[in-house]
Structure 1
Amino acid sequence: MADVLIGLDVGTTATKAQAFSVDGRVLAAASGGYGLITPRPGWVEQSPDDLIRAAGETLRQVLGQLESHDRVLGLALSSQGGTTIPVGADGRPTYNAISWMDQRGETQARRVREVLSADYIHTTTGWPLQNLLPLQHIAWLRDNCRDCFSATRRFVFVNDFIGHWLSGEYAMDPTSAGITQLFNILVGDWEDRLLAVAGVERQQMSPIVPCGLSIGRVTASASAEIGLPEGTPVVNGAHDQYCAAVGAGVMRPGEVLLSCGTAWVLLAVPDTPDAGLAAQMAVGRHAIDGRWGAIRSLGGVGTSVEWLLDTVWGGRDAGQAREPLYRAMNAEASAAVPGVDGLRFYPLAGGHANTYGPGRGGFIGLTLSHSRGDMARAVMEGIAFELRWVIEEMRTAGVAVSNLRMVGGASASPVWPQIVADVANVEVTLPDTREAAGRGAAILAGVGIGLFANPEAGYAAFAGRETQLQPQPEHVARYEDAFESYRRGALQIEASQTRCTQRTQ
């Protein structure tokens, strides 16, 4: 018989459920997807019922993979942040979930700026004012959907929506609350001035419950629907990036999560919120009580690799057989020399050269002697140069970076993590998981039931073999000059784009 902890990761387009033994072995896993609804340009919604359906299906599949005598001790959620779900008195949605990607709140953001200073909003919420967070979602519903707004008794988000479905209780964790622009990160509670601007009252928001505390137990109705035993503890989890930080062991100053997907996301642990704000990072409360988190994203840089795979390696014609192409690309990139004889690549999105030209990038210094392996290495190096640029900005602002803990697709490359270590001149750790968010949620579940004293103890119990990569001195020296060349080129490209923009206005 195995004792089991479940992490349920409810993401933007898919939900993943994982069952772990108490020493961190993955016993079962399942995933299920759902679509986005785009009724108008800039609008992005989701069906709340789709979120429930996918959560139920993945949990049923995971339970079906376990042995009949295995015992589920508890579960916790990792969830996308910043997606708003208005619900009525019966707990049913009064409108679709408005996604964190939705841009409809421009008018509402402008009105917020008229009554509250940008500095107040940034320092209070940890985020600069934007069009796409729940403060603007709720104000938009107030201004444009009066019937829906009047029928809404509570404004919830993905974590407390799914948590209520499982346990019958509403609870909001501080990491997710910090992505609403309705939460005071310094006080650790909802901010009345911001709630008033949105037109809602405090009782319409779920109570704030720390990460890793039990919020209730699986209800009879949820048990009948998904098969979890009635009474199974449901523990408050965290926003997916903070769960990933727990699952990858990013809990102390100096440790930085590097989550590599379409976007490359850094999550650091600053000593103070001011340091994170000065580094142009989105600051919030960590899932570790008493500690801070600060997030910065290199949005879209991963698309450059997919583009190269499609256009140079024939990925568009390969159907589902992309894995052999990735292996070939990594092998040829590994054979190329560091610095690629002056070949530089500027990412198609997410880089310092993209300020005026999102979706545009390219190679500089390409010669007839360069191979496709050289091009692949230049793409990897270009993204690593952007990463180093951000790390330098973080350090200048007082955010320590001594160890990058790398998860996600790029972490599986046999060459890219070492490029990152050499370019950034920092130790890189590869945890023994690529799905850190689900593991972090399971660790928090273990904390909530008293199995682990704290998340650090849970990570120590879960962690298997980690790979440590040290910067190679001979490559570090070569990359110093290459990075300065890259930075000069990016600034020149930005200046050129600025001039072109001014001429067309």
Structure 2
Amino acid sequence: MFTIGIDIGTTNCKVCLFSTPEFELVDQYSFKTPKLVHGQNTDFDIELIWKGTLYGLNKLSSSLHAACISVSAIAVASVGEAGVLLDDKDKPIGPTLTWYDTRPKTQLNKIIDVLGVENIYSITGIPAHSNYSVNKIKWLQDNISAAKDGCKWLCLAEYIAFRLSGEKRSEYSLASRTMALNLEEKTWDTELLTKIEIPPEMFSPLVYAGAAIGTLTREVAELTGLSTSTSVAIAGHDHMCGSVAVGLNNKEQILNSTGTTEGLLVVTEHTNTSQEFFKARVSNGVHVLEGFHSLYASLPSAGYAIEWFRTLFEMDMPSFLRLVDTLNEQNEDDSAANLDGIFIPHLRGSGPPERNTWSKALLYGMDDKSRPEEILRFIFQGLCFELRNLLDSYEALTGRHYPVINVIGAACKNPYWLQLKATILNREVVACNIEEAVSRGAAMLAAKAVGFDLTQTKNTSEEMLKRYVPDSDEVSRFDALYQDLYKPLYESKMLVERRCYGES
């Protein structure tokens, strides 16, 4: 059996074909995620994303016919928060704001005035933030005249699944990122939505990830060359799908998902909405595996910080990779390695434990002799320190120690970054070098839609794993740098910013 997993990501979109039961990658098509940038504002170009997805399915279909292969099911994963508002003819209304676009700050403040931040957390399990879907809906209603008559809101993966099947459904893990889901009851919170003047019927019936919502429409089948009998499912939130791909399914494990952002994910059996979790701004959610919940926190800039560096120095990828090789070589030179600096990567605001859209990046340690490779080293160190700060919060909240950090995504192709993670976190880091982990997780959930038992999936083979252990000679030095420089600078920066910008 063959299934397709689609990953609608911040930077790239992937359409990938996998074979069961091993879920090995057979073929793929990827394209840069189309965006519309207007000054400080960024929208997803949803129509071009749809056209790129269709083109990718057609490309895969062409090679499938030659091999006499048929596709049993397709499932779609995506970033959270972002979505599409539809009119009564199912046409998009207004722009599709990216998940990180900060325009809805005013709308968030109005919602907080009505509901209160602690009440929002107790109901939805997530900290009030302008990224979440209800704020985007309110922004559209306040700024796009036609939006007042909007009929349906679908998150990105849900919208693509709708275009494939003609069926509108909402999936639980994505619903967890709307700020409209009652997490305990697993229903849309009608009272909350009524208070903020969003019609509850704007949200579609809820389904679990991997539930078949329909089959390909005749039109899509004709455009792609696939069959109308191909089942369609929503795979859900991309980081959650990545956890399925690596077999993360118990509370003893933790996943570090890396890409444009970087997150820590723990699978749980219940929600955690106590005052301690609220203060740490950690997000609860419904996991893509039925019966489980999740704790998830995202750092807005990871791979994005690296792209920012490349853009700043006008550096193409081969030049960047050569610079990373230089950093590896410098590790053998104590005088170079001891030139320490701090980068706090708040290029798109800060993540937990102090989550704010107004937080700014900070780079300390440069002088008149600083070279690009030194700044890049500060950036990688800063990403690791930021991750350690988040990991410390997780362990304090859960009362658990996570001796092994499982990593998926872009960082798995960067041994320098992985070794630095192991040393700064002082943990074993296991790089799960799975090709297109999010798409693989989506393809596994697609197979679930047609009756495949995911418990029969083989575990990630040892050949796909690479293990990194802390450099014992460097652990104490980095710990001192974290305690004596990173933390004081972090706390001072956040204090100054609170005074300048106020709470958000």
TM-score by length of 2: 0.86
What is the CA–CA distance in structure 2 between the aligned matches of 1:254 and 1:96, rounded to whole Å?
A: 41
Equivalent position to 1:340, from 304, 329, 337: 337
Q: Give, as a single letter, the amino acid of the residue that structure 2 aligns with 1:110.
A: N
Residue 112 of structure 2 is matched in structure 1 by 113
- Are 1:450 and 2:435 matched, yes or no? no
Equivalent position to 2:247, from 246, 249, 258: 249
Equivalent position to 2:169, from 171, 186, 205: 171
Q: Give, as a single letter, the amino acid of the residue that structure 1 aligns with 2:192.
A: L
Residue 362 of structure 1 is matched in structure 2 by 364
Residue 27 of structure 1 is matched in structure 2 by 26
What is the CA–CA distance in structure 2 between the aligned matches of 1:148 and 1:354, rounded to whole Å?
A: 29
Residue 475 of structure 2 is matched in structure 1 by 476
Contact persistence 2:323–2:373 (CA under 8 A): no
What is the CA–CA distance in structure 2 between the aligned matches of 1:463 and 1:450, rounded to whole Å?
A: 28
What is the CA–CA distance in structure 2 between the aligned matches of 1:12 and 1:262, rounded to whole Å?
A: 7
Give secondary structure in 2 for the equivalent of 1:26. strand
Equivalent position to 2:51, from 50, 53, 56: 53
Residue 80 of structure 1 is matched in structure 2 by 79
Give secondary structure in 2 for the equivalent of 1:269. strand
Q: CA deviation at 1:298?
A: 2.4
What is the CA–CA distance in structure 2 between the aligned matches of 1:349 and 1:335, rounded to whole Å?
A: 30
Q: Give, as a single letter, the amino acid of the residue that structure 2 aligns with 1:127.
A: I
Q: CA deviation at 1:38?
A: 4.5
Size of the alignment, in residue pairs? 490
- Are 1:438 and 2:439 matched, yes or no? yes
Structure 1 unaligned runs (5+)?
none
Question: Deviation string for 1:446-472 (max 9, x for gaps)?
Answer: 222222244xx4362788622233334
Q: CA deviation at 1:186?
A: 1.5
Q: Give, as a single letter, the amino acid of the residue that structure 2 aligns with 1:57.
A: Y
Give secondary structure in 1 for the equivalent of 2:464. coil
Give secondary structure in 1 for the equivalent of 2:121. helix
Structure 1 residues 255, 378: closer, same or farther in 2, change over 3 A?
Answer: same
Give secondary structure in 2 for the equivalent of 1:37. strand
Q: Which moved more, 1:302-311 or 1:173-182?
A: 302-311
Give secondary structure in 2 for the equivalent of 1:415. helix
Contact persistence 2:76–2:158 (CA under 8 A): no
Q: Which moved more, 1:246-255 or 1:457-466?
A: 457-466
Q: Give, as a single letter, the amino acid of the residue that structure 2 aligns with 1:24.
A: F
TM-score by length of 1: 0.86
Contact persistence 1:303–1:348 (CA under 8 A): no
Give secondary structure in 2 for the equivalent of 1:82. coil
What is the CA–CA distance in structure 1 between the aligned matches of 2:377 and 2:37, rounded to whole Å?
A: 37
Structure 2 unaligned runs (5+)?
none
Q: Percent identity?
A: 21
Equivalent position to 1:188, from 177, 186, 211: 186
Question: Deviation string for 1:106-149 (max 9, x for gaps)?
Answer: 33323322321211111212222223322122223334444442
Structure 1 residues 122, 30: closer, same or farther in 2, change over 3 A?
Answer: same
What is the CA–CA distance in structure 1 between the aligned matches of 2:18 and 2:488, rounded to whole Å?
A: 47
- Are 1:11 and 2:9 matched, yes or no? yes
Question: Deviation string for 1:342-382 (max 9, x for gaps)?
Answer: 62322353679998861331227x797x9876665444333
Give secondary structure in 2 for the equivalent of 1:95. coil
Q: Which moved more, 1:205-214 or 1:29-38?
A: 29-38
Structure 1 residues 135, 367: closer, same or farther in 2, change over 3 A?
Answer: closer
Q: CA deviation at 1:268?
A: 2.3
What is the CA–CA distance in structure 1 between the aligned matches of 2:53 and 2:466, rounded to whole Å?
A: 32
What is the CA–CA distance in structure 2 between the aligned matches of 1:183 and 1:496, rounded to whole Å?
A: 32
What is the CA–CA distance in structure 2 between the aligned matches of 1:173 and 1:498, rounded to whole Å?
A: 36
What is the CA–CA distance in structure 1 between the aligned matches of 2:279 and 2:129, rounded to whole Å?
A: 18
Structure 1 residues 4, 376: closer, same or farther in 2, change over 3 A?
Answer: same
Contact persistence 1:259–1:408 (CA under 8 A): yes
Residue 139 of structure 1 is matched in structure 2 by 138
Structure 1 residues 326, 405: closer, same or farther in 2, change over 3 A?
Answer: farther
What is the CA–CA distance in structure 2 between the aligned matches of 1:251 and 1:278, rounded to whole Å?
A: 26
Question: Deviation string for 1:9-58 (max 9, x for gaps)?
Answer: 1123532101111112211111123432345x654433432221111011
